[in-house]
Amino acid sequence: MDILFFLSALAAEIIGTIAGFGSSTIFLPLALLFFDFKTALVLVAFFHIFGNAGRVSFFNKGLDKTLLIKFGLPSVLFTLGGALFVFYISQDLLKGILGIFLIIYALLSLWKDKLQIKPTLFSTVFGGSLSGFLAGLIGTGGALRGAFLTSFSLPKEKYIATAAMVAIAVDVTRIPVYLVQGFLANKYYWYLPILLIIAIAGSFIGKQIVSRFPYKLFRKGVLIAILLAGIKFFFDWLS
């Protein structure tokens, strides 16, 4: 099982890099095939922060400090609230919420290539708050974060660095809350250094082969897979 889990992590990072999704959107549904929701939530959070750390270090001169405050600060604050709620909500309901989120995200993305929102102060603060809360609660708010940040038409380097820094801040906020509440058993801590290596390797491999795939076709295939995973979680919750 461990080998299959690590292979899933590698596949998620490669696919996420090629398709432009956050690795957590792809990896969390896969991790739930191996672990309960809370364990998967923590492992994917660590994996997510490992992947984003490299992006920040590489593009550290492109940070948009204004967005870090207006978007990042609400994200961090509401992430804390979402992470605290996890303890009080059943895992079946959390899977149902995740399923609904994945269905909505996949359908909207299939309908429209780029989801953009008008860049006002309200939408910036609201987007940061909502994406942060979802990240803390169900472990994946990156898709929504990207929809809001792309509305500012940032240069590629600045977008990558800013989005990655906000993601790291969110993960640094929620991971201690998960650990304090005992979501990760001691027997799984040895997974973390391996996930670090996989995150770096997967990102590197994805960047090397990204030009070999017809992007739009590949992206649609991934979105359909995300949609099917969301439908599965939703109906598992109903049953």
Percent of the chain with pLDDT over 70: 90
Q: Residue 202: what pLDDT? A: 86
Over 70: is that where the pLDDT of 63 sits? yes
- pLDDT tier for residue 86 given thresholds of 50, 70 and 90: very high
Residue 64: alpha-carbon gap to chain centroid: 20
Q: Which two tokens stand for residue 159?
A: 């977008």
DSSP class of residue 62 equals G
Q: What are the boundaries of each domain within the chain?
A: 2-238
Three-state secondary structure string covering 161-219? HHHHHHHHHHHHHHHHHHHHCCCCCHHHCCHHHHHHHHHHHHHHHHHHHHHHCCHHHHH
- pLDDT tier for residue 170 given thresholds of 50, 70 and 90: very high
Contact status, residue 80 vs residue 178, Cβ threshold 8 Å:
no
What whole-number distance in Å separates Cα of residue 207 and Cα of residue 80?
32
Q: Residue 119: what pLDDT? A: 77
Contact status, residue 31 vs residue 40, Cβ threshold 8 Å:
yes
- pLDDT tier for residue 61 given thresholds of 50, 70 and 90: low
Mean pLDDT value of segment 154-160: 75
Question: Rounded to whole angstroms, what are the CA distances from 148 to 37, 172, 192?
Answer: 27, 21, 30
Amino acid letter, 124: T
Query: The pTM is what?
Result: 0.84
Question: Rounded to whole angstroms, what are the CA distances from 55 to 65, 100, 237?
Answer: 16, 29, 36
Kindly report the backbone phi and psi dihedral angles of residue 36, in degrees, each rounded to the nearest multiple of 5, phi listed first: -70, 165
